[in-house]
């Protein structure tokens, strides 16, 4: 780090109203030595530093310009020069100097890591600076702000990293955070680099992740909300799905099976439950009946049926109904119904095969589903239970 001994000596000498000659005499050195110290062309001998500090009644740290006031003044001057720079090349040079002079300053480190990302050939330095910032601690920086800055630096890494580095970066930095999933990181990379063929695939996965997060957020928020708010949250979720699937003018719970099936039937149960508790019994029963119709229609799909999201923006995904294997076609002790065995594909790629199960315990269990109580003895509700029991048989 650059030392500011000369500036400190000049300031303290002038505060004592001394000439360079007078100070030189007091310290037993030549006035030329004092002049060189103050001009920054030379430093005092190391043995002399404690003596100078004692003479002025300060610590050796303060003498060397390490005091807060002087450091802040020099740092402010460095930032002024940075903001006045003509281009990123000059800014990079200035930040590297600031990094040498103020190695403990995390703001300088952050800014340097950001500016280096503008130079793809400096990827190795960018990666090292990013890792250093993530490992750093600054009591003056809010935790959330630091985490956001870390994420921005990581995203910048994904924009500039060579292909061979991608998997290591994904293993190291991807998370369940909606903006930092594997798909989100790759999606950002492909968009910035205009790699449109790769971007289209991740765009659809990313959209599905964001929609999933949106629906789950509404579910989470309604757990401790009023029945009226819960009904609003479920209704909005279904309306969004209907817009995406181009379903207008029909029942809120569209009875036509598609890849939104599990979301639609479960939100249909929750909406019916909330409406019942909000004393909107007729609407609650109508929603429940439409939801049971959807489940029945899904259960009736023949082998070979192909389901999509019915959404052009998610046309890369599909389910194809395949036969159950002997091991899967077994009775279940829970009130859930394994309706269909499907192959899940993304484009032409088989991702997995899975069993689509409908959980009907909200209709049969009271614990956690008390909001259904106002309509549990209604004939239409009991008829819905009978329709479910037929599917379980």
Q: What is the rounded average pLDDT of the residues 334-341?
A: 76
Give me the pLDDT at residue 330, please: 46
Q: Is there a single domain that holds both residue 166 and residue 285?
A: no
Residue 292 maps to a domain: yes
- Residue 342: give the domain boundaries: 225-392
Give me the pLDDT at residue 265, please: 94
Has residue 378 got a pLDDT over 90?
A: yes
Q: Is there a single domain that holds both residue 238 and residue 387?
A: yes
Q: Is there a single domain that holds both residue 16 and residue 135?
A: no
Q: Is there a single domain that holds both residue 232 and residue 279?
A: yes
Q: Is there a single domain that holds both residue 381 and residue 306?
A: yes
Predicted structure pTM score? 0.57
Q: Is there a single domain that holds both residue 240 and residue 371?
A: yes
Q: Is there a single domain that holds both residue 272 and residue 345?
A: yes
Q: State the CATH number of the domain containing residue 48.
A: 1.10.260.40
Q: Is there a single domain that holds both residue 36 and residue 146?
A: no
Has residue 334 got a pLDDT over 90?
A: no
Count of the separate structural domains present in the chain? 3
Of 1-5, 114-118, 149-153, 296-300, give the lowest mean pLDDT range.
1-5
Give me the pLDDT at residue 70, please: 66
Give me the pLDDT at residue 218, please: 62
Residue 257 maps to a domain: yes
Residue 209 maps to a domain: no
Residue 83 maps to a domain: no
Residue 370 maps to a domain: yes
Q: What is the rounded average pLDDT of the residues 36-47?
A: 86
Give me the pLDDT at residue 73, please: 78
**Using CA atoms, how far apart are residues 94 and 98, in angstroms rounded to an integer?**
6
Has residue 68 got a pLDDT over 70?
A: no
Q: Is there a single domain that holds both residue 37 and residue 131?
A: no
Give me the pLDDT at residue 380, please: 96
Q: Is there a single domain that holds both residue 244 and residue 359?
A: yes
Q: Is there a single domain that holds both residue 108 and residue 46?
A: no
Q: Is there a single domain that holds both residue 231 and residue 379?
A: yes
Give me the pLDDT at residue 328, please: 46
pLDDT tens-digit readout, 243-276: 888 888 889 999 999 999 999 999 999 999 999 9
């Amino acid at each position: 780090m650059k030392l500011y001994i000369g500036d400190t000596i000049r300031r303290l000498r002038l505060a004592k109203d001394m000439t360079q000659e007078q100070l030189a005499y007091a310290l037993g050195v030549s006035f030329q030595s004092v002049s060189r110290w103050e001009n920054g062309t030379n430093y005092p001998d190391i043995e002399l530093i404690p003596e100078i500090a004692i003479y002025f009644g300060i610590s050796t740290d303060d003498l060397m310009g390490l005091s807060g006031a002087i450091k802040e003044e020099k740092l402010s001057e460095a930032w002024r020069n940075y903001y006045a720079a003509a281009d990123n090349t000059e800014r990079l040079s200035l930040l590297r100097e600031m990094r040498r002079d103020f190695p403990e300053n995390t703001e300088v480190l952050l800014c340097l890591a950001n500016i280096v990302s503008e130079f793809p050939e400096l990827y190795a330095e960018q990666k090292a600076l990013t890792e250093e910032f993530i490992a750093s601690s600054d009591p003056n920086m809010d935790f959330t702000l630091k985490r956001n800055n870390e994420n921005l630096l990581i995203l910048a890494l994904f924009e500039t990293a060579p292909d061979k580095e991608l998997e290591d970066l994904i293993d190291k930095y991807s998370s369940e955070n909606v903006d930092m999933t594997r798909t989100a990181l790759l999606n950002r990379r492909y968009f910035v680099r205009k790699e449109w063929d790769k971007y289209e695939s991740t765009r659809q996965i990313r959209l599905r992740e964001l929609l999933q997060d949106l629906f789950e957020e509404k579910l989470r928020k309604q757990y401790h909300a009023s029945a009226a708010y819960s009904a609003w949250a479920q209704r909005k979720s279904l309306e969004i799905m209907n817009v995406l699937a181009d379903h207008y003018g029909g029942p809120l719970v569209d009875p036509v099976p598609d890849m939104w099936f599990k979301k639609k039937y479960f939100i249909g149960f929750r909406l019916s439950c909330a409406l019942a508790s909000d004393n909107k019994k007729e609407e609650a029963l109508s929603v429940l009946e439409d939801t049971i119709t959807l489940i029945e229609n899904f259960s009736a799909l023949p082998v070979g049926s192909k389901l999509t999201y019915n959404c052009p923006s998610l046309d890369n995904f599909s389910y194809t109904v395949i036969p159950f294997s002997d091991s899967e076609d077994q009775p279940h002790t829970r009130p859930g119904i394994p309706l269909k065995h499907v192959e899940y594909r993304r484009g032409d790629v088989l991702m997995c095969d899975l069993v689509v199960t409908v959980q009907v315990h909200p209709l049969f269990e009271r614990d956690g589903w008390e909001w259904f109580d106002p309509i549990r003895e209604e004939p239409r509700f009991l008829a819905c239970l009978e329709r479910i029991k037929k599917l379980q048989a």
